[in-house]
Structure 1
Amino acid sequence: MTTDEFVARSHILHRSFSERPAKIVAGDGISLVLESGKKVIDASCGPSVSCLGHSQPEITEAITNHLKNDIAYVYSGSPYTNGATEELADILLSEKPGGLSKAIFVNSGSEATDAALKLAVQYWHERGQPQRTHFIARKQSYHGNTIGALCVSGHESRREFYKDFMSSNVTFVDPCYAYRMKGDDESDEEFAQRLGRQFEDEILRIGPDRVAGFVAETVSGTTLGCLPAVPGYFRAIRDICDRYGVLLILDEIICGMGKTGTMHAWEQEGIRGPDIQTIGKALGAGFVPLSGVLLHQKIFDALSAGSGGLAHGHTFQAHPLACAAAVAAQRIIKRDNLIERTAQMGHKLEALLRKEIGPMALVGDIRGRGLFWAVEFVLDKSLKTAFSPKANFCNQVVKHCLDSGLNILGNLGHTGEYQVDHVLVCPPYTVTESELEEIVSLLMAAIVKTSEPFVKAECTNGVSKVQSDVKVAEIGNMS
Structure 2
Amino acid sequence: MRDEAGTSVRYPQGNVLLRNLTREFPVVTHGQGVHLFDARGKRYLDASAGALVASVGHGNREVVERIHEQLLRVAYVNGTHFTTDVTEQLASRVCALAPAGLSRAAFLCSGSEAVEAAVKFARQLCVERGQPQRTKVIARVPGYHGNTLYALSLSGRPHYKTFFGPMLAEVVTTPAPYPYRSGLENYARDGAAHYVKLLEETLRREGPDTIAAFIAEPVIGSSAGASPPPPGYFEQVSALCREYGILTIADEVMCGCGRTGHFFASERFQFTPDLLVLGKGLGGGYAPLSAVLTRQDHLDEMRRGSGGFMHAQTYLQAPAITAAGLAVLDYYERHDLVAHAAQVGAHFQRRLRESLLSLPHVGSVQGVGLMAGIELVEDTASRRPFPRARKVAERLLAALFEQGLVVWSNTGHADGTNGDLLMLGPPLVITEAEVDELVDTLSRGIQQFFQQFS
Which TM class, normalised by the smaller chain length? over 0.9
Q: Give the equivalent residue in structure 1 for 2:22.
A: 18
CA contact (8 A) 1:154 1:415 kept: no
> Is residue 41 of structure 1 aligned with residue 45 of structure 2?
yes
Amino acid at match of 1:411: N
Q: Give the equivalent residue in structure 1 for 2:325.
A: 326
Percentage of identical aligned residues: 35
User: CA 1:178–1:418 in 2, change beyond 3 Å: closer, same or farther?
Assistant: farther
User: CA 1:415–1:191 in 2, change beyond 3 Å: closer, same or farther?
Assistant: closer
Structure 2, gaps ≥5 residues long = 1-9
Q: Which moved more, 1:374-383 or 1:217-226?
A: 374-383
How many residue pairs get matched? 445
Amino acid at match of 2:197: R
Q: Give the equivalent residue in structure 1 for 2:154.
A: 152
Q: Deviations over 1:344-393 (max 9, x none)?
A: 10110111111111111211111111101111111222211111112222
| Secondary structure of the corresponding residue to residue 16 of structure 1 | coil
Amino acid at match of 1:47: A
Q: Give the equivalent residue in structure 2 for 1:129.
A: 131
Q: Give the equivalent residue in structure 2 for 1:89.
A: 91
Q: Deviations over 1:125-165 (max 9, x none)?
A: 11111111111111121100001101211112223322122
Q: Deviations over 1:37-72 (max 9, x none)?
A: 11111111011000111111111111211122x221
TM-score (structure 1 length as normaliser) = 0.90
| Secondary structure of the corresponding residue to residue 316 of structure 1 | coil
CA contact (8 A) 1:121 1:133 kept: yes
Separation of aligned partners in 2, 1:173 and 1:413: 17
| Secondary structure of the corresponding residue to residue 411 of structure 1 | strand
Greater Rg by CA: 1
Separation of aligned partners in 2, 1:20 and 1:389: 23
User: CA 1:55–1:289 in 2, change beyond 3 Å: closer, same or farther?
Assistant: same
Q: Deviations over 1:271-316 (max 9, x none)?
A: 4x11011100000101110011111223212212211211011011
User: In the TM superposition, what is the alpha-carbon distance from 1:396 to its structure 2 partner?
Assistant: 2.2
Structure 1, gaps ≥5 residues long = 1-5, 455-468, 470-479
User: CA 1:414–1:226 in 2, change beyond 3 Å: closer, same or farther?
Assistant: closer
Separation of aligned partners in 1, 2:89 and 2:287: 17
CA contact (8 A) 1:43 1:425 kept: yes
Q: Deviations over 1:240-280 (max 9, x none)?
A: 11111111111110111110000110111124x11011100
| Secondary structure of the corresponding residue to residue 428 of structure 1 | coil
User: In the TM superposition, what is the alpha-carbon distance from 1:8 to its structure 2 partner?
Assistant: 6.0
TM-score (structure 2 length as normaliser) = 0.95
Q: Give the equivalent residue in structure 2 for 1:465.
A: none
| Secondary structure of the corresponding residue to residue 277 of structure 1 | strand
Amino acid at match of 1:98: A
> Is residue 72 of structure 1 aligned with residue 75 of structure 2?
yes
| Secondary structure of the corresponding residue to residue 100 of structure 2 | helix
Q: Give the equivalent residue in structure 1 for 2:63.
A: 59
The RMSD of aligned alpha carbons is 1.6
Separation of aligned partners in 1, 2:330 and 2:410: 32
CA contact (8 A) 1:156 1:415 kept: no
Amino acid at match of 1:131: Q
Separation of aligned partners in 2, 1:195 and 1:418: 22
Separation of aligned partners in 1, 2:245 and 2:265: 23
Separation of aligned partners in 1, 2:194 and 2:87: 43
CA contact (8 A) 1:212 1:247 kept: yes
Q: Which moved more, 1:92-101 or 1:129-138?
A: 92-101
Separation of aligned partners in 2, 1:77 and 1:315: 9
